[in-house]
Amino acid sequence: MTAPAAKPVAMWLFACAGMVVAMMVIGAITRLTESGLSMVEWRPLIGAWPPTDAAEWQRVFDLYRQTSEYTLANAGMSLAEFKTIFWWEFIHRLWGRLIGIVFALPFLFFLLTRRIPRGYTPHLVALFLLGGLQGVIGWWMVKSGFVDRTDVSQYRLTVHLGMAFAILGYLLWVALRLVAPRAPMSDAPRRLAWTTLGIVSLTVLAGGLVAGLNAGLTYNSWPLMDGDFVPAGALELSPWWLNGFENDAAVQFDHRMLAYASVLMVGWLWLAVRRASVTPRARFAANAMAAMVVAQVLLGIATLLLVVPLPLAVLHQLGAATLFSLTLWTVYELTG
């Protein structure tokens, strides 16, 4: 398969990756507006149409009024207020269906016309299955919020977020292999690049725990956490290891420390790339990654200090996806 013949497949995969990033942004808005539990039913095939009359709106509202979120946090909510949160969750689920369609239909076309490069069909099948699994994980996450709580489980939310980033990384890696052949580089810092990607990924997952616990709404000071480097009460849960997953103070502290580690690793990798004999494309990727980590840290600090305003928080989520993508691109270029 020649490079020109493979290009349409790669462009399709890049487009799907863009849709996944957009899904992350929509998901962030859904989470920040507390909209995720507004749709009680899961109808993956026939649930793509919203309520169209007053009776149907009242039916779905009555279902929501039976949830713990309504009784514990939103008792007395009007139908008009319910519609606002319903639409964000509806858009979130609709966009997920659109990603499935945009992936499945071109895949069938490329498969039937034999335009998929040799050896890539298993990767595309795996991506399709991962997309379906992500839908199931999303519903599994939502279900956790229907019983005696007002939010979804931070564990399940983090799994859902992690799967989204895994799918994004897989899409980008396969697309890059199709259109961006790599040149061998004997002194490229490969291990350092992979380690950096691992730290950035852990920081993203820690951010999922912060979002799941609403931990960003506390300790809204920087560089210290309410006057302390390690906040008081960071180890108050027993057994001790629960603090890193269920204690607001510890979860935010961990995310901060991982963010600092990401900055250090990205800076180290950037310096190593500058000193190595690498391709211009690898050098450009590393420069873009280094610039993005600075922007992401500034976004994170501003989001924290301003107590998580919606626009900044959404930009911070977009920044995480961008930094992850640029770091993965750097890794790809260095592992030729």
The predicted-structure confidence for 265-302, as pLDDT tens digits, reads as follows 999 999 999 999 999 999 999 999 999 999 999 999 99
Q: What angle do CA 152, 153, 159 make, to 5 degrees?
A: 110
136/116 Cα distance (integer angstroms):
28
Q: Residue 1: pLDDT band by 50, 70, 90 thresholds?
A: very low
The better pLDDT of the pair 27, 45 is held by 27
What phi and psi, each to the nearest 5 degrees, are found at residue 249? -65, -45
- Other CB atoms within 10 Å distance of the CB of residue 147: 8
Residue ranges per domain, the chain?
Answer: 1-181, 183-336
Tokens in use for 267? 């800076």
Q: What is the pLDDT of residue 47?
A: 60
Return the SS3 of 221: coil
- Other CB atoms within 10 Å distance of the CB of residue 309: 12
The predicted-structure confidence for 164-197, as pLDDT tens digits, reads as follows 999 999 999 999 999 998 888 888 899 999 999 9
150/164 Cα distance (integer angstroms):
23
Q: Which helix (H) or strand (E) holds 121?
A: helix 121-143
285/301 Cα distance (integer angstroms):
25
The predicted-structure confidence for 199-249, as pLDDT tens digits, reads as follows 999 999 999 999 999 999 999 999 999 999 999 889 999 999 999 999 999
Contacts of 135 (CB under 8 A, 6+ apart): 44, 96, 100
126/133 Cα distance (integer angstroms):
10
Q: Residue 2: pLDDT band by 50, 70, 90 thresholds?
A: very low
Q: What is the pLDDT of residue 173?
A: 98
Contacts of 77 (CB under 8 A, 6+ apart): 70
The answer to whether residues 60 and 40 touch, using CB atoms and an 8 Å cutoff, is yes
